[in-house]
Amino acid sequence: MRAKIAVLLYCSTVLALSVTIPRVYAGDSVPEWARGAVWYQILPERFRNSNAFDDPTKDDVFDSRDGDWQIHPWASDWYKLQVWEREEKASFAELLAQRRYGGDLVGVMEKLPYLEALGVDVVYLTPIFEAPSITKYDASTLHHVDNNFGVARDEDRKIIEAGGDDPAKWELTKGDELFSEILRDGHVADLHFVIEVVFSYCGSEFWAFQDLKKKQKGSRYKDWFQVISWDDPMTPDTVEFDYAAWQNDKNLPLFKTDDLGAPVQPVKEYIFNITRRWMDVDGDPLTADGVDGWSVRHVEGYSVSFWREWNELVRDLKADAITTSDLQSSSDQFINRYGFTFSNRNELANLITDFFVHRKNPVRIVDFVAKLDDLRQRLEGGEDFSSLVQLSNLDGPRIASVIAKSKRAKSSNGHAHNGDHPVKPDSSERKIQKLLTIFQLTCPGSPVIYYGDESGMWGGDPPDNIKPMLWKEFLYERESYRALYQNLEQTSDNRFELGLFNMYRGLNELRSENPALRIGEFRVQLTDDDKGIFVYSRRHKSNEVWVFMNLSDEEQHVEINPGWKKNRKVIEAFSTKKYKLDKFDIKLTLEPISARVLVKEK
């Protein structure tokens, strides 16, 4: 059992409601280990650089370049240009796309104890496959770990460049073996691993596409892609070769589909073979070195029947494996047709963010509750609430900056006030972040923590949301913004926020110790829009957890009868003291923008 952590959690018509979400999961569709599990999403290139010998080189980043280039210093000011950048005639956004910080899987392995201490259950990795970009969605191959993520960059590159679709000829690179070791070590620590992937398109450096581009109609992979026109050998000075690409981005060629919307047979076989590969990396069923799940992007690129068949393969390989999709339908009945376990919907996260963040024009608590209930009703007729709940991700600004921008959008006289400037959140904005996080980690579903949110990271729209991870042991330069905002002289202290980390860790510990927070029913107990009071509970059998929130800027007092037959003792989370009921009533004082959590003693 994890050590207790003392944390102070800062975070109106009175209406007692009986809105209940009966169960988090329907039937046995979700394996036990995944029910209410806490996920932690990692972008490896920005998580930890623990092997500088395999850092990307200039040739890994550019097709050709005469000028200087270097790995970016991890703890440097994000907005400060290095010498090579100052010599470039490029925009700041273009320079950021060229930066590499050298994060690798060695760093992930080194920080597994950190993830254990944080109390996460699922390590959620963005694509780890060989690719030229930072995020690796433009795969050059799907059957090898990126050579800059491992321990033998140049040796691995030779194996990767061999390509080929015959799994019998796929060697394990040192990077592949390292990933296998991470999986084994993580499983010993009771961690599970989900990897993100795109199956419907690849990068223009993908080995089969490169063969097609070179050999044209003579390529054995000519039927893998959606070719629009072939190059004419009679016109050597022009290029007629054209093909379908995702969102018409020619760096992301689409794989070909058949008349039913499934990938053509050779592509399907490749997808199935790489699925088998990563679910048992070394091919030995006695070693626990397979991934525990997949997160698939661009699911709508293929047919329902294909995804059902692929999901069946996944569970044939590992019965308790999970799969997630990016389908945004509000109906689980629709999503379940595809065979996925979870959907990484934006709807729930957006609803939560709108309620807690945009308090200048606040959504009434009673209306928020009604919207939650409406969403619950649309999810499998009220029987399922199995969404992943993620507040920050690769596609948008970090939650800390969403809060800061909303709060600073207008000054008291209505004029713009640094609304778009990417400065560090202040203490009042951190209170809102903490309150929002408390709800994320105590509401139904599986919370997903985006790397660094727990350590205090902030950042606006991409690519400001993928700064290098803040670590307690590093001394970081202050962030200054003059390079982009000449009139903004403010600088920001950039350091690991231990208090925020401890709050996340304490909430994760609370989830671990109380099944009510993982799989219990959700019941709204009290709302008071005049006072800004929101009280709800989670219950599973005899285990109950009550959350009391004050969303107002003033201290508030709450009295409520929990309906218990006995005058039970109650444990207050993050406190060494036991809370005693006052003649069956709970009576609490709540500081402004704060929450208190009570657990009924078993």
Render 402-470 in DSSP notation, one character per residue.
HHHHHHHSB-TTS-B-STT--PPP-HHHHHHHHHHHHHHTTSSSEEEEETTGGGT----STTGGGPPPP
Cα within 13 Å of Cα(553), Cβ side: 4
Nearest residue to 317 (alpha-carbon basis) of 344, 293, 353, 297: 293
DSSP per-residue codes, 264-320: PHHHHHHHHHHHHHHTSTTS-TTS--S-SEEEEE-GGGS-HHHHHHHHHHHHHH-TT
| Helices and strands counted in the chain (H then E) | 17, 22
Look at residue 334 in the predicted model and tell me its pLDDT: 62
Q: Which structure tokens are listed for 306?
A: 């294909």
- State how far the Cα of 203 lies from the Cα of 193, in Å rounded to an integer: 24
**Rounded to whole angstroms, what are the CA distances from 398 to 49, 84, 454?**
22, 28, 11
- State how far the Cα of 315 lies from the Cα of 208, in Å rounded to an integer: 28
Contact 230, 241 (CB under 8 A): yes
- State how far the Cα of 506 lies from the Cα of 527, in Å rounded to an integer: 26
Nearest residue to 108 (alpha-carbon basis) of 193, 7, 12: 193
User: Looking up tokens 């009295």, which residue turns up?
Assistant: 559
- State how far the Cα of 423 lies from the Cα of 456, in Å rounded to an integer: 12
Q: Which structure tokens are listed for 338?
A: 């595809």
Stretches in the chain below the pLDDT threshold 50: 1-28, 381-384, 410-419
Dihedral through CA 311, CA 316, CA 318, CA 323, nearest 10? 0
343 strand-pairing partners = 325
- State how far the Cα of 488 lies from the Cα of 572, in Å rounded to an integer: 44
H or E element at residue 125:
strand 122-125
Domains annotated for the chain, with CATH where assigned, are 14-22+514-600 (2.60.40.1180), 37-56+100-200+257-340 (3.20.20.80), 207-248 (no CATH)
**Residues 6 or more apart from 164 whose CB is under 8 A from it?**
170, 207
**Residues 6 or more apart from 307 whose CB is under 8 A from it?**
299, 325, 338, 339, 340
Omega prior to 463 cis, within 30 of 0: yes
Look at residue 196 in the predicted model and tell me its pLDDT: 98
- State how far the Cα of 525 lies from the Cα of 19, in Å rounded to an integer: 8
H or E element at residue 61:
helix 58-61
**Rounded to whole angstroms, what are the CA distances from 71 to 79, 174, 320?**
15, 22, 40
DSSP state of 168: G
